[in-house]
């Protein structure tokens, strides 16, 4: 983890939130390459689950919602973790993260016996408007899901979809975690990609299985090694208050196997709760059977940050190349922030720089994620691109300009994983890269 965190900072993927003020626990800022990686991860998700389907409706609901949403959903009463406080050092811990020794829990810092746990609500509270009283309370949403449930009727009325259909959303969520930890694994400001998929009650298990497969397919889309992903059937008593069945997708993170995604069968819990809470009828009329009922819901839920951490940690590789050890990110081209880096061999030769700029401009038009780099010697440039996971580097040298006439208009293409270099003509360069990358 230390190596990944340090690479992320050094190369502009992820920085500590509010770093120059000493940070703010559980917050991280995404730098230029982090944003690029995150956008690729989100675009692949949106493509698989929204663009490539006919039954999905995209949403972008407000983060702040009427407080009654969270009363009805059960979050005000029940979105809480057990908290214990050390009577000596006053550090606070999540009780379920500390092991019992002979029936008692001890402070991990000074070994004092900890008191009884109390439930700590994880929603971040705020007041909306100038008045700070109970009527102005609002919460930064702890999941994106509720923004979709409260818009269920709007989508029904605007689009008249037939069951089964889903709503999908990517957005921020906030949890006042007792113990944020492991870099971007458990944070207080997070991003989720969620689907609420509505079905006839008797059909829930077919859709549950369909999304189970689609979740595996998405882990392939972002290039996660399949042997590092595992399913866990969550036992009765361990599931969230709304779920009748949950499968956690777990991943072998550097600190151990932990939750990556969740797939839950939320029944009609949410539509029923919001029908009661809002007194608005959220039922669906089925033309075929001429009956009116509350649809049931299957919810695949994905953390963006956890996907990034899984992608980064499984891609991080150390090997030996040309007698030197190197670290590189073996990223799938589908998520790599940069696909191709174009270099002039020397910075101070205008003829090389001019030709390299021409190659760069052409490739950028075709492949989009292409950068130009003339900073430092060529070995350093290769290392830098290896570290950010760029699959190919293209170098323009004097032979490109015809120093050896038989090599006129050819370039060197270097493969990130093997370090092997090929000489290719400019005519075949774009199609070679396109075939290898897309
Ligand atoms: N709407 C359902 C829901 O929110 P969840 O299991 O609490 O379910 C879903 O969260 C996903 O969101 C998790 O599988 C994880 O990927 C991500 N997630 C949850 N809490 C997180 C946190 N504190 N930091 C980073 N990601 C988190």
Per-residue pLDDT of the chain (438 residues; tens, 9 = 90+): 999 999 999 999 999 999 999 999 999 999 999 999 999 999 999 999 999 999 999 999 999 999 999 999 999 998 988 899 899 998 889 898 899 888 889 999 999 999 889 999 999 999 999 999 999 999 999 999 999 999 999 999 999 999 999 999 999 999 999 999 999 999 999 999 999 999 999 999 999 999 999 999 999 999 999 999 999 999 999 999 899 999 999 999 999 999 999 999 999 999 999 999 999 999 999 999 999 999 999 999 999 999 999 999 999 999 999 899 999 999 999 999 999 999 999 999 999 999 999 999 999 999 999 999 999 999 999 999 999 999 999 999 999 999 999 999 999 999 999 999 999 999 999 999 999 998
Question: Which residue's CA lies nearest to atom 25 of ligand 1?
Answer: 186
On whether both 237 and 196 belong to a single domain, the answer is: yes
How far does residue 73's CA lie from ligand 1's centre (Å)? 16
Domain total in the chain: 2
For residue 218, the domain's CATH number is 3.30.930.10
Residue 106 burial (CB count, 10 A)? 15
Contacts of 431 (CB under 8 A, 6+ apart): none
On whether both 343 and 289 belong to a single domain, the answer is: no
* Beta strands 56-59 and 64-66, pairing class: unpaired
Query: Is 82 part of a structural domain of the chain?
Result: no
What are the tokens at 19? 């770093």
The residues lining ligand 1, judged by C-beta closer than 6 Å to any ligand atom, are 143, 145, 175, 177, 186-187, 190, 192, 194, 259-262, 299, 301-303, 305-306
On whether both 184 and 268 belong to a single domain, the answer is: yes
Question: Which residue's CA lies nearest to atom 9 of ligand 1?
Answer: 301
How far does residue 36's CA lie from ligand 1's centre (Å)? 22
**DSSP secondary structure letters along 363-415:** HHHHHS-EEE--SS-HHHHHHHHHHHT-SEEEEE-TTTTTSSGGGTTEEEEEE
What is the extent of the structural domain holding 348?
338-437
What are the tokens at 195? 């689907």
Cβ–Cβ < 8 Å for 192, 301:
yes
The number of residues in the chain equals 438
Query: Is 124 part of a structural domain of the chain?
Result: no
Ligand 1 pocket, mutate which of 301, 307, 311 (most atoms under 8 A from CB):
301
Query: Is 207 part of a structural domain of the chain?
Result: yes
What are the tokens at 312? 């980064």
Query: Is 89 part of a structural domain of the chain?
Result: no
Nearest ligand 1 atom to alpha carbon 248: 14
Rounded to an integer, what distance in angstroms lies between the CA atom of residue 285 and that of residue 275? 15
Query: Is 392 part of a structural domain of the chain?
Result: yes
How far does residue 302's CA lie from ligand 1's centre (Å)? 7
On whether both 298 and 379 belong to a single domain, the answer is: no
- How far is CA 165 from each of CA 169, 271, 287, rounded to the nearest angstrom? 14, 15, 15
Ligand 1 pocket, mutate which of 122, 143, 193, 310 (most atoms under 8 A from CB):
143
How far does residue 303's CA lie from ligand 1's centre (Å)? 6
Question: Which residue's CA lies nearest to atom 5 of ligand 1?
Answer: 262
Cβ–Cβ < 8 Å for 250, 230:
yes
Query: Is 263 part of a structural domain of the chain?
Result: yes
How far does residue 393's CA lie from ligand 1's centre (Å)? 37
């Amino acid at each position: 983890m230390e190596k990944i965190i340090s690479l992320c900072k050094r190369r502009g993927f992820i920085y500590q939130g509010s770093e120059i003020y000493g940070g703010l626990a559980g917050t991280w800022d995404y730098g230029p390459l982090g944003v690029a990686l995150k956008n690729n991860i989100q675009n692949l998700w949106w493509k698989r689950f929204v663009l490539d389907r006919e039954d999905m409706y995209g949403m972008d609901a407000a983060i702040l919602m009427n407080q009654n949403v969270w009363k009805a959903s059960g979050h005000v009463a029940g979105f809480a973790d057990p908290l214990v406080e050390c009577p000596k050092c006053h550090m606070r811990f999540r009780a379920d993260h500390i092991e019992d020794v002979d029936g008692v829990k001890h402070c991990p810092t000074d070994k004092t016996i900890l008191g009884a746990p109390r439930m700590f609500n994880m929603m971040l509270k705020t007041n909306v408007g100038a008045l700070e009283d109970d009527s102005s309370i609002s919460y930064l949403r702890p999941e994106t899901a509720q923004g979709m449930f409260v818009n269920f009727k709007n989508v029904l009325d605007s689009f008249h979809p037939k069951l089964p259909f889903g709503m999908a959303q990517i957005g921020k969520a906030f949890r006042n975690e007792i113990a944020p930890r492991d870099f971007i694994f458990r944070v207080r400001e997070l991003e989720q990609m969620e689907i609420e998929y509505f079905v006839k009650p008797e059909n829930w298990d077919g859709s549950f299985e369909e999304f189970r497969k689609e979740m595996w397919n998405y882990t392939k889309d972002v290039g996660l090694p399949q042997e590092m992903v595992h399913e866990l059937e969550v036992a009765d008593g361990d599931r969230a208050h709304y779920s009748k069945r949950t499968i956690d997708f777990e991943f072998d993170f550097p600190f151990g196997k932990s939750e990556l995604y969740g797939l839950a069968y939320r029944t009609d819990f949410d539509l029923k709760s919001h029908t009661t809470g809002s007194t608005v009828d959220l039922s669906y009329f089925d033309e075929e059977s001429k009956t009116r009922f509350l649809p049931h819901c299957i919810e695949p839920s994905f953390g963006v940050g956890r996907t990034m951490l899984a992608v980064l940690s499984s891609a991080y590789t150390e090997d030996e190349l040309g007698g030197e050890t190197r670290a590189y990110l073996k990223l799938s081209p589908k998520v790599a922030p940069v696909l191709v880096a174009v270099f002039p061999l020397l910075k101070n030769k205008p003829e090389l720089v001019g030709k390299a700029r021409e190659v760069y401009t052409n490739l950028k038009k075709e492949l989009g994620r292409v950068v130009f780099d003339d900073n430092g010697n060529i070995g350093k440039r290769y290392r830098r691109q290896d570290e950010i996971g760029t699959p190919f580097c293209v170098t323009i040298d004097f032979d490109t300009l015809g120093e050896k006439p038989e090599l006129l208009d050819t370039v060197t293409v270097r493969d990130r994983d093997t370090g092997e270099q090929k000489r290719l003509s400019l005519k075949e360069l774009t199609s070679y890269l396109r075939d290898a990358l897309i």
